[in-house]
Amino acid sequence: MHIVVTGGAGFIGANFVHHVVREHPGTEVTVLDALTYAGDRRSLDPVADQITFVTGDIADTATVDRLVAAADAVVHFAAESHNDNSLADPWPFVQTNVVGTYTLLEAVRRHGTRLHHVSTDEVYGDLELDDPAKFTPTTPYNPSSPYSSTKASSDMLVRAWVRSFGVAATISNCSNNYGPYQHVEKFIPRQVTNVIDGVRPKLYGTGHNVRDWIHVDDHNAAVWEILTRGQIGETYLIGADGEVDNKTVVQTLLELMGQSPDAYDLVCDRPGHDLRYAIDATRLRDELGWAPRFTSFRDGLAATVDWYRANEAWWRPQKDATEARYATLGR
């Protein structure tokens, strides 16, 4: 099988390419990535001689058409992915997440190519802290931020192209990922690299917001199963029953890094900050037999801390510009 991986120089996409090269040898991989501030070709260094890398935009019809025509399947990770950035400047989110996904859909329609669209649990909005409910494939869409509303839009485009044009696509909506190669703008790498730099972690609001954490390798193993064995037209929710509030995440990191558990600061909240996410992954588990391998969040966090300690050369170039952006937001 020849797959095109969009966004393969980003956090989850790069880990997906590593996963495919390691676990599914014989798969031909072409990465299409625009190398925005969030893309880093060095994340693919360990597999560079086993893949083809194309620098390009998913909204560029000619490039996309050429690559899609030569592929059996497209795994679509490319996106603007950070909520805080979407609040500061929504336009790149509309352009890449909506227009870019449209461009890919038209190409797979022309060439009859299989598509797997990688999306987020944020399309469902948020849940109350004391609500026993979790998101399911029938939860109504109710996105809160410019980021999540553009991802919701892209999901709707995929659904419409399946129904109206018979495009062979699947969708997955996953919860918060952690692991190696994640940009230091995101919560866990930001706090780990802050502590390495002697800066106190920063919690938005009161720190009681809950995220449903999953290791990136477990997400990617699920994406492969859906790509190869999922039902066309279906939506699969991916999550590993990993609900933890932000304050507990920071306190666990502080403890793992030898700091006092109260050595953090509360900073001003994110506007519209979603309270809680929680995934019901029953369909994925029952239909495709998927189960997470990283069952201890604490052990996964410890390994992630070790990775950032060992790979300062990878994250250091992004750190100052990221913190300068946060400083303008007061966070």
List the interface residues with ligand DAU, window 179-208 (CB under 6 A).
Answer: 186-187, 190, 202-204
Nearer to ligand NAD, 35 or 200 (CB): 35
Which residue's C-beta sits nearest to ligand DAU?
Answer: 120
Q: Is 16 in the site for ligand DAU (CB under 6 A)?
A: no
Closest distance of CB 171 from ligand NAD, Å: 11
Q: Is 77 in the site for ligand NAD (CB under 6 A)?
A: yes
List the interface residues with ligand DAU, window 241-270 (CB under 6 A).
Answer: 246, 270
Q: Which amino acid type is present at position 67?
A: L
Size of the site for ligand NAD (CB under 6 A): 30
Active-site residue set: 121-122, 147
Q: Is 183 in the site for ligand NAD (CB under 6 A)?
A: yes
Q: Which amino acid type is present at position 279?
A: I
Chain residues in the site for ligand NAD (CB under 6 A): 6-7, 9-13, 33-36, 38-39, 57-59, 77-81, 96, 100, 118, 120, 151, 174, 176-177, 183
Chain residues in the site for ligand DAU (CB under 6 A): 81-83, 120-122, 175-176, 186-187, 190, 202-204, 209, 211, 246, 270, 277
